[in-house]
Structure 1
Amino acid sequence: MQLRCDVEVVSRWLPSVGVRSKGRSSRAVLSLGRLAERGVFLLICTARHRRGARYKLQQNIEKFFTRFVEEGKATVRLKEPAIDICLSKADISSLKSFLSAARLAHRGSDTDSLPLSALGPARARDVEKPKKKLSILSKKDYPLTSSFPYSLEQLQVSYCRLTRVDLRMLSLRVLRRLDLSNNHIKKLPSTIGDLSCLAELILHNNQLESFGDGLCSSTLQTSLQHLDLSQNQLKVLPARFCQLQQLVNLKLDQNKLLWLPFHIGRLSKLRFLSAAHNQLTVLPASFRKLCLENLDLFGNRFAQASALEHTMRLTFPLTLQELASRAVVELRVPHGPHVVPLHLCHQLDFSKACDCGRVCVDSFIQTAVSINLHLVAHTVVLVDNMGGTEAPVQKHFCSLLCYCEFMDGCVQRDLR
């Protein structure tokens, strides 16, 4: 049995002679093995001492300190020599198994059933410091037989012609930055959402056609801050995309987007938005709620906004379904496919807000108004080659009265 972790061996005699421990741990491999007829020994190998130091375990352990075992930490106190073996940064399940085996070795019972190892020198790669950053920039360097270091916090795999995300990457629980740019990935597995520490996801220049709903409902909601989906084949983003409320930087350039996420205004922390060279004709109504530092919408096909051109989807009187749907949204009643039909969930996800503050779901009047993008962003890249910084934004009205009041206001402004 072996355990890879950080180890510090502290002599309990040092304080009595006025010497303090330096408190420095080293990466090590701990092995439990039998040494001839002398019983089970513990071998500790480090980078400086790969042959290792041996310590007898049978009837030689004074105490186990396991209060912080759920954090990957423990201490084994030996009687002879008088030392404390302090373990840290260990895999929790492996540490528990190792401590259980050490207890059995100490008692001297059932040692024949222990998964013992050979007490030989450790390999250099086993005692190196945990690797936190790895970049693979060609297909020939891609690991096919070996796994990715468990300790990685940053992983870049580019120009490797990947057509899917390697599931081995999704076991890297401390990964904070994943760069899979310049590959041929068409679909993302929902299990990317299991990377609870992931703050940056770079998918620039792939062949993505969708961004799954499951990713928007995963732990990425509380961790993801930087998302780069530029140069892909995206036409739409899911309604629940705006549940990724920690996003600060969003790049959507050079896709085939027909519209931006309907509730994009809910991304209150978003500061950098780039969606240049798409097929946008109008911006969603909630776009006006954004507070950006930098905005780039160059190269889209924005239509000319006119409040007189409207879409009438208002029914008189309002249907019972519309009344109920408005009440569900306004009262924030929880809903989902397990409660109401899927098509109703979709309508509720795309509920609109009228200027009067009320909600409309499937019955409304829709028009578009032109706004200066400097109202939502400090720095604006020109929308077109003519030096414009205005773009059309959708506007919805819950009733004919609200629409007429808006039109009266427009007429009065024009008369001035």
Structure 2
Amino acid sequence: MKLHCEVEVVCRHLPTLGLRNRGKGVRAILSLCQQMPRAGAERDSPPPARLRIATLKDKLGTCYQLKGNIEKFFTKFVDEGKATVRLKEPSVDICLSKASSSNLKNFLSAVRLAHKGIVEVPVSTLNPVKTSEFEKFRIKMVITSKKDYPLSRNFPYSLEHLQVSYCGLVRVDMRMLCLKNLKKLDLSHNHIKKLPATIGDLIHLQELDLSDNHLESFSIVLCQSTLQKSLQNLDLSQNKIRALPVQFCQLRELTDLKLDDNELVQLPFKIGQLTNLRFLSAARNKLSVLPNELKNLLLEHLDLFGNPFEKPDIPVVKLQIPLTLFEFSARTVLSSRIPYGRDTIPFHLCQDLDTAKTCVCGRVCLDSFIQETVMVNLHSIANTVVLLGSTGATEAPIISYYCSVTCCTQSDMRR
């Protein structure tokens, strides 16, 4: 019986000697082993099982006696793939991490039985562990050609960084979506047209690179998945995306967003909700104006080079006096932060509420508003701004909305 995980063996006497453990685990293979008796020796009873910890540098491994030698198990975080086995002799704590929770539970059960002198599972002999066994334990894999792409074998389940580029993929391989430890997934320079919703099941995914593919959209399902809590870097450059959904701004952990060389005609108008965003690049798209909420961001770097921005036009007045019942009700729901969803109101009303505009005063409006385009210096949004063109301009048109004539007048006075 074997367990693949990270192991740190901590000597409990170190603190009394004024020493510290190095505090870092190593990739290892744990197994229950028996020292087989020599030929001709008496075999009154089978030898007791021992715990062997083998690493890539020490394939024979270090063995620890188990029978009557375990002082305590620490299993509070076993569902997270973590546990500690405290031995009596030697005085060490064997700290396990990054293990499959189900495999860890089964292995600990076998260790408990071995502690009692009971061996009910197959045990191995003390032969060195094969190097191929450690291949299953890889953290990083980079594939940059079709001939290296694994067709007959699975990806190592322990991968945290996977890059598959220049392989001509037209869809995301579902085997990749079983790699629950993935933190970085790079599928750049392929021919992918659509993303599966199950990418949202990669709960630890922090970086996703989909540049230079054939994507035409980014699905709402992904925006509402666990990526909301994990995704920090997203590269969608060099695709064919025309617009991003309103729900895209629910990915609030994003710090770096690349949208260069697409066909975007607008940025998500609620982009101001991405409060952690620090690097935004949307060069060489088809942007004519920018959303008002862009002014709420505090960016380190902003690149909007090569977009056909238009000069401000005359204001558009769509005020309704008095307000319709729908407008009044919608403003009340949003200003009071009353929860809503498809299970409580019709779907089209959810869409209307999701696309509500925000006035410069902070109130919201739906169908009753004044729309005005004003030129804003992008240095008020970002520390570093890439020039918009050869003229050296750093001003771009931003759409502003006003819920009343008073708000519009006061805004003009401040300018």
Q: Which deviates the most, 316-325 or 129-138?
A: 129-138
Aligned to 1:158: 165
- Asked if the contact 1:43/1:52 (under 8 Å) is kept, the reply is no
Partners of 1:408 and 1:255 lie apart in 2 by: 34
- The structural deviation recorded for 1:137 is 0.8
The C-alpha deviation readout for 1:187-231, integer Å capped at 9, x for no partner, is 222332333333222111011111122222233333322211100
Partners of 1:129 and 1:106 lie apart in 2 by: 28
- The structural deviation recorded for 1:83 is 7.0
Aligned to 2:94: 86
- Asked if the contact 2:136/2:158 (under 8 Å) is kept, the reply is no
- The structural deviation recorded for 1:305 is 0.7
CA gap of 1:123–1:100, structure 2 versus 1, over 3 A, is same
CA gap of 1:62–1:75, structure 2 versus 1, over 3 A, is closer
* 1:192-341 matched pairs, under 5 angstroms: 192-306=199-313, 308-310=314-316, 312-341=317-346
Partners of 2:322 and 2:20 lie apart in 1 by: 81
Partners of 1:238 and 1:182 lie apart in 2 by: 24
Secondary structure of the corresponding residue to residue 143 of structure 1: coil
Which of the numbers 358, 366, 369 marks the counterpart of 1:361?
366
Q: Which deviates the most, 345-354 or 190-199?
A: 190-199
Q: Extract unaligned runs of 5+ from structure 1.
A: none
CA gap of 1:2–1:301, structure 2 versus 1, over 3 A, is same
CA gap of 1:217–1:26, structure 2 versus 1, over 3 A, is closer
CA gap of 1:106–1:318, structure 2 versus 1, over 3 A, is same
The C-alpha deviation readout for 1:290-316, integer Å capped at 9, x for no partner, is 22232222222222212x242x43333
Partners of 1:205 and 1:46 lie apart in 2 by: 39
The C-alpha deviation readout for 1:130-151, integer Å capped at 9, x for no partner, is 5333211111111223333344
Q: CA RMSD in A?
A: 3.4
CA gap of 1:322–1:11, structure 2 versus 1, over 3 A, is closer
1:172 aligns with 2:172: no
Partners of 2:403 and 2:8 lie apart in 1 by: 68
CA gap of 1:32–1:255, structure 2 versus 1, over 3 A, is same
- Asked if the contact 1:247/1:267 (under 8 Å) is kept, the reply is yes
Aligned residue identity for 1:250: L
Partners of 2:77 and 2:411 lie apart in 1 by: 67
Aligned residue identity for 1:161: G
Partners of 1:223 and 1:406 lie apart in 2 by: 40
1:131 aligns with 2:138: yes
- The structural deviation recorded for 1:325 is 0.5
- The structural deviation recorded for 1:182 is 0.4
Aligned to 1:399: 404
- Asked if the contact 1:10/1:21 (under 8 Å) is kept, the reply is no
Aligned to 1:4: 4
Which of the numbers 95, 105, 122 marks the counterpart of 2:104?
95
Partners of 1:320 and 1:21 lie apart in 2 by: 69
Aligned to 2:122: 116
* 1:12-27 matched pairs, under 5 angstroms: 27=27
Partners of 2:189 and 2:278 lie apart in 1 by: 25
- The structural deviation recorded for 1:285 is 1.5
Partners of 1:394 and 1:184 lie apart in 2 by: 35
Percent of aligned pairs with the same residue? 48
Aligned to 2:32: 32
Partners of 2:5 and 2:210 lie apart in 1 by: 33
Partners of 2:141 and 2:238 lie apart in 1 by: 24
Aligned to 1:72: 82
Secondary structure of the corresponding residue to residue 240 of structure 1: helix
- The structural deviation recorded for 1:159 is 0.7
Aligned to 1:376: 381
Secondary structure of the corresponding residue to residue 32 of structure 1: strand
Partners of 1:196 and 1:290 lie apart in 2 by: 26
Secondary structure of the corresponding residue to residue 167 of structure 1: coil
